[in-house]
Structure 1
């Protein structure tokens, strides 16, 4: 569960518990001990939001977001801008404003940007300061406005949907992780007492099935608060919400859910197949495990996640979802909201389970699926991206939600549903804030890798240490850690060795320290000194992997590679959704990979790595890696209804139709740098 503690705050509240600070002055010593053990039983916890400072290419990405819609959505998007309900107005009072804040708050504190901080604080301050005496919070309801009704548990129906409050609770928790604002804990205490009383007559699904499907987000915050004050009523509340919500744990473990989702695309139980609900629901078994410590929930999570990725997984590391989860054919799409919510679920799951499978999954999803779905300036997005995407255009495609306006695939600010315009901001920001975790032994764990600097207090002596993580990962295979500390300090440092790495090499101060096999988290428990330099080297081998329709994808380390195609951008306008862009390839795309590449990738692929540009952007011009491969054109592989439907292969994986005799050299770049591409190739002789 995400929780951090600060030594200075601990002194203020006279309680220092295993590097966790409890900010309530009413917590008894006995309760503190219980609360500590509640968190100590899980491997990792989140560090203070401002402990990690992104550097290099990652900071460039966050600055692009700050200068684009993340920093300015309230200025450019009328639904959030005009008379906002979360500021006391009559405008948006549902999910989109909290969605935006859920990414804008961590962005503000990761960049230490006063302008963005002041902007998001308006909404946070209004929400906290305008909490009703009963504990209810949120925009002024119709009953309050028109009838001067006072909302209490006895007339909870005068309130409104539980769902947007779940998102705002996530926002306020992040704000607390950055500020330790003493208003937050009492605010949450009051609300959860109100909710526990109210749910008996106003159940979680009273206003919408969205709240029923996403109850795990509510449980997550209640259990986080329990970790602070150990109020047993919060466990009662978590149990009640779980009983009223979708039973994701049982479904994931039962397997019939995954089978039915793969075979049914009608309107019966479609909310169970809704990709964003599924992405959020992934965390549900881990929340149940955190509360009960029953290992069945970990088994249910693993079964469900493996079934999901087997039946619906796409090469870029995410499951299909347009909006239903929709199989593993390379022509299926995925909603941007599903990516960002799945990433956040994985970040929570990692802390609770410590399972490297989910660490690897988060890495693959982040570096491949996430970057491709937004424009360079972070002002436009695709509602759905497609794996083998040979054109971005208006159309129905193979999506389960086509929209009459046919705008789900184009790049626009408001294209498709605007939930993704509001919710896309949490992807990069929350990834950056989860590069490192704290451990119960007052150590640090580097479980995801990108350039950053962390400052934290570690070891039994609670000594402050700063570690610069200097790297161009995932484009480079070396990660350098430089330590700065005023005094020697003993603490355990944990490092993930990715499963894709056969053997990592660790070097300390210029001398080889050890070699470790991939697929594990290792611990270096030693006395660390000022100016220590630790280097991790992850040799990246070129491999191929098998995907839907017996297609093949080329991989190197954490990145998957797609055919590099010159792009032709066209601007358009739709009266309801405004300006948008279509993108078409200017070069041929209908290539099959030679069978020799599948049999021996190392001998038949050539890789060239170029320096990372200073102002980094995820586009073709900045792609730092290229792979040269050999292919042959498949003349009958053509665009039909905007799609490149996969040629049929036999069970040996070879396409047996007409193939050009000429072998050509083709260039591939990391998937995240492309807009139009082939990533899942047929194989030819």
Structure 2
């Protein structure tokens, strides 16, 4: 199993009677910076620019459900989750890129929402009852309101908008709504329309407690407790082994919602959110235990857990829904913020740099509903998914393929990753907990001196990260840097001279008087490693990147009457390789890293731009063939070696970063060396 997972949980620890201990509200250990203070640079900036030119800026123009009489603009059209989902990624993109056109567009929806709140505090698109009667939803007739769930997403949008603008309308708007909600939940509980709101209630609690951190209105804590009581008890489930056992055995509709992968992804942050209000450390233990169990039972090499749509085991032929990947990323970002546990940054980077990139097209206009770890073809079919769809469109790359929730929700992945590269600390400093090229501007020190830190790096493809400080005078503040679990020892240089070292999984704190022009260099040596995954398969890793077999791609365009244009992708060369046992056991000796395309401002996550490759000795397994598009994993014996027929020819195969692939093998069987 990957080193970050093994390092993140120590089952022997138990907080004992912490469940009975209750304390007051716990302030977040790290805090979000104002939206726009972090400016992505380099390859990450280009990724966001691609999104700006693609559907992240233009979804409301090209997707008819949003473009036709949108309910979030006062019309009778979409009044559900999809418009808020889209805004949840488009708003941070607009303000990080400072794109005037996109800001103007998203602000239409925000302004309409803020300006059309009902006197009772209820908000959102006009309900059918309101349009029919001319009345307004209030507490007495709250049953005529719509599902609580889409409003939870829109609250996240408004919170990000507030972080960017400090618009004075937002705080009283939320206050009025939460007072309405506190009074209405007794009559119209979270589940009165559907289970989506009760399964995802932690998103509601998160926003209630965020507002409490601003206003100190104690009624908000009462509301948070009511919502949590009506919502799914994710923390209790994560702490109870029976939940994870049940997810492996039950496939009926009765238990769908507590094993639905997107619900689980959102629920990951629930224990941290509960801890924020209660101070109950049992919640943190439950979170760590639950996440460990989840990844042990359902984890896949690229950092996601299976979910097609149900949790579906750790076989590399299972799928992962795009929504579950971006929601897992956001949950991890919030967990880090609330708890201060930087170990969750390792799985966050693994998702961002591996699972996220290949599930969308280069232009960000098409997506896969489900990606597969060992994905030897992208095509129409039922595959081995728990939700196969009779239309067989879950695996293809299309704008509307599968359910369109992911078409709307995929935009938050990169944008929120970029906006959470840095946090502020309670001690008046800064923390860099995930790494990518960026520029940060903040006021620091006793005199609030403007400081600009330029993070210059090709990470995750390079092991060196430079931090260049610009200010007019010396400033005293602490700077925290994370050492990933995969890095045995990190070194920090200040202006070319050794300053500090740090062990794997540690958080370095550099507290000093920083001088204008200071330059820190964080060196994170990367070594080739192998890890064990489902069906005793092996994966090659280096640093935060997972490597997959490079397969030349044959793209084919198709058209579905209901879901529109889509693309299938097929391999142009053999994929049925097993890695040599010696190479797996001694990767540093038997594998070699080679440079590929340079990482520059035009970088795209595809084969042509793959910056690195690893050469590995391998042999083909003739009997390993795809059946209905699925490459079922050959079974290794307990020693980890495949005992069936293997080619006598040993050859070096090329592995590239998983995120640069569309078709691939990433979880390999292990074969013995050819007899001489």
What is the 5 A alignment of 1:577-656?
577-610=563-596, 611-656=598-643
Q: Aligned pair 1:311/2:297, yes or no?
A: yes
Q: What residue in structure 2 maps to residue 252 of structure 1?
A: 238
User: Is residue 149–residue 158 contact of structure 1 (8 Å, CA) maintained in 2?
Assistant: no
Please report how far the alpha carbon of residue 541 of structure 1 lies from its aligned counterpart in structure 2 after TM superposition.
0.2
Please state whether the residue corresponding to 1:154 is helix, strand or coil: coil
Please report how far the alpha carbon of residue 41 of structure 1 lies from its aligned counterpart in structure 2 after TM superposition.
4.1
User: Is residue 300–residue 316 contact of structure 2 (8 Å, CA) maintained in 1?
Assistant: yes
1:609-665 superposed Cα distances (whole Å, 9 cap, x missing partner)? 242143111000000001101100000000111011000110000000000111011
Please state whether the residue corresponding to 1:205 is helix, strand or coil: helix
Q: Aligned pair 1:431/2:420, yes or no?
A: no
Q: What residue in structure 2 maps to residue 30 of structure 1?
A: none
Equivalent position to 1:663, from 621, 632, 650: 650
Please report how far the alpha carbon of residue 39 of structure 1 lies from its aligned counterpart in structure 2 after TM superposition.
7.7
Q: Aligned pair 1:467/2:467, yes or no?
A: no
Q: What residue in structure 1 maps to residue 130 of structure 2?
A: 144
Structure-2-length-normalised TM-score: 0.95
Q: What residue in structure 2 maps to residue 14 of structure 1?
A: none
Equivalent position to 2:89, from 95, 103, 124: 103
Q: Aligned pair 1:510/2:493, yes or no?
A: no
What is the 5 A alignment of 1:62-73?
62-73=48-59
Please report how far the alpha carbon of residue 459 of structure 1 lies from its aligned counterpart in structure 2 after TM superposition.
2.2
User: Is residue 38–residue 227 contact of structure 1 (8 Å, CA) maintained in 2?
Assistant: no
- The whole-number CA distance in structure 2 between the counterparts of 1:660 and 1:246 is 52
In structure 2, the gaps of 5 or more residues are 1-22
Q: How many residues align?
A: 649
Equivalent position to 2:35, from 49, 59, 65: 49
Structure-1-length-normalised TM-score: 0.94
Please report how far the alpha carbon of residue 352 of structure 1 lies from its aligned counterpart in structure 2 after TM superposition.
1.1
Q: What residue in structure 2 maps to residue 200 of structure 1?
A: 186
Q: What residue in structure 1 maps to residue 530 of structure 2?
A: 544
Q: Aligned pair 1:413/2:430, yes or no?
A: no
Please report how far the alpha carbon of residue 150 of structure 1 lies from its aligned counterpart in structure 2 after TM superposition.
2.2
User: Is residue 555–residue 567 contact of structure 2 (8 Å, CA) maintained in 1?
Assistant: yes
1:11-67 superposed Cα distances (whole Å, 9 cap, x missing partner)? xxxxxxxxxxxxxxxxxxxxxxxxxx9787432010101110000000000000000
- The whole-number CA distance in structure 1 between the counterparts of 2:500 and 2:130 is 65
What is the 5 A alignment of 1:446-525?
446-525=432-511
User: Is residue 25–residue 278 contact of structure 2 (8 Å, CA) maintained in 1?
Assistant: no
Q: What residue in structure 2 maps to residue 24 of structure 1?
A: none
Please report how far the alpha carbon of residue 301 of structure 1 lies from its aligned counterpart in structure 2 after TM superposition.
0.4
User: Is residue 40–residue 440 contact of structure 1 (8 Å, CA) maintained in 2?
Assistant: no
User: Is residue 26–residue 277 contact of structure 2 (8 Å, CA) maintained in 1?
Assistant: no
In structure 1, the gaps of 5 or more residues are 1-36
Q: Which segment is superposed worse, 38-47 or 242-251?
A: 38-47
Q: What residue in structure 1 maps to residue 118 of structure 2?
A: 132
Please state whether the residue corresponding to 2:509 is helix, strand or coil: strand
Please state whether the residue corresponding to 2:191 is helix, strand or coil: coil
Q: What residue in structure 2 maps to residue 346 of structure 1?
A: 332
Please state whether the residue corresponding to 1:516 is helix, strand or coil: strand
What is the 5 A alignment of 1:256-271?
256-271=242-257
User: Is residue 122–residue 138 contact of structure 2 (8 Å, CA) maintained in 1?
Assistant: yes
Task: Note closer, same or farther for the CA distance 1:477–1:38 as it changes in structure 2 (3 Å cut).
Answer: farther
User: Is residue 66–residue 78 contact of structure 2 (8 Å, CA) maintained in 1?
Assistant: yes
Q: What residue in structure 2 maps to residue 381 of structure 1?
A: 367
Deviant stretches of 4+, over 6 Å: 37-40
Please state whether the residue corresponding to 2:212 is helix, strand or coil: helix
Please report how far the alpha carbon of residue 264 of structure 1 lies from its aligned counterpart in structure 2 after TM superposition.
1.7
- The whole-number CA distance in structure 1 between the counterparts of 2:289 and 2:202 is 18
User: Is residue 274–residue 321 contact of structure 1 (8 Å, CA) maintained in 2?
Assistant: yes
Please state whether the residue corresponding to 1:390 is helix, strand or coil: coil
Q: What residue in structure 2 maps to residue 3 of structure 1?
A: none
Q: Which segment is superposed worse, 257-266 or 633-642?
A: 257-266
**Root-mean-square deviation (CA), in Å?**
1.0
Q: Aligned pair 1:184/2:162, yes or no?
A: no
- The whole-number CA distance in structure 2 between the counterparts of 1:609 and 1:223 is 47
1:505-525 superposed Cα distances (whole Å, 9 cap, x missing partner)? 111001111221111111000
